[in-house]
Structure 1
Amino acid sequence: MAHHKSAIKRWHQSLRERERNRSRRTRARNAIRKLREAVAAGDAAAISEALSKAYSAVDRAAKKGAIHDGKADRLKRRMAALVNKHQQPAA
């Protein structure tokens, strides 16, 4: 445990930020899960809306530092590939 007043304050701040980051990461993961469910269901309107919400949640998490920028880019590429694969007609 920290002993200096400033270190104690910083510790409290880090705990609050940790909770915020956990919330942002969870929100992003849930949005991605909903996108996968929409793709599995095959509803084009739901896919479009879920993709938009998932992109927004991932971008917001990256902007706030809850996830790394590279991870956000990788997740968005994978989501786009999933949607594109679903929208292509089966040959």
Structure 2
Amino acid sequence: MANTPQARKRIRRNEARALVNGNRMSRIRSFVKKVEAAIAGGDKEAAAQALAAAQPELARGVARGVVHKNTASRKFSRLTKRIASL
């Protein structure tokens, strides 16, 4: 258990940040799932639009430190490649 006031504050802060970061990751995953659903449906136009909406969310996740830059880049690249192959 935390013994110092600073450690207690860090625990409170970490819990609050975990909620915010969890919500951000959930939002990013939702956007990516929309792209994947459009790809699975075979609708290239809808998939491209969903990818255009997901890209800023991934970039925002990178900027906020929730997603690593290379992870976002890899996801975007793979989704783009899958859409191009439709």
Which TM-score band (shorter chain)? 0.7 to 0.9
SS at match of 1:29: helix
Q: Please give the root-mean-square deviation of Cα atoms over the aligned residues, in Å.
A: 1.4
Taking the aligned partners of 1:7 and 1:75, their CA distance within structure 2 comes to 36
Distance across 2 between alignment mates of 1:6 and 1:48? 48
Alpha-carbon distance in structure 2 between the residues aligned to 1:79 and 1:16: 32
Identity of aligned residues (%): 28
Q: Which amino acid aligns with 2:67?
A: I
2:66 corresponds in structure 1 to 66
How many angstroms apart in 1 are the aligned matches of 2:78 and 2:45?
19
Q: Quick check: 2:44–2:83 contact (8 Å CA) kept in 1?
A: no
Does the alignment pair 1:43 with 2:43?
yes
- The alignment of Structure 1 onto Structure 2 pairs a total of residues equal to 86
TM norm structure 1: 0.83
- Could you tell me which amino acid in structure 2 is paired with residue 6 of structure 1? Q
Q: Which moved more, 1:43-52 or 1:59-68?
A: 43-52
Question: Residue type of the partner of 1:78?
Answer: R
* 1:79 is the counterpart of 2:79: yes
Give ranges in structure 2 of 5+ residues lacking alignment: none
Distance 2:17 2:79 in 1: 27
Structure 1: segments with no counterpart, 5+ residues: 87-91
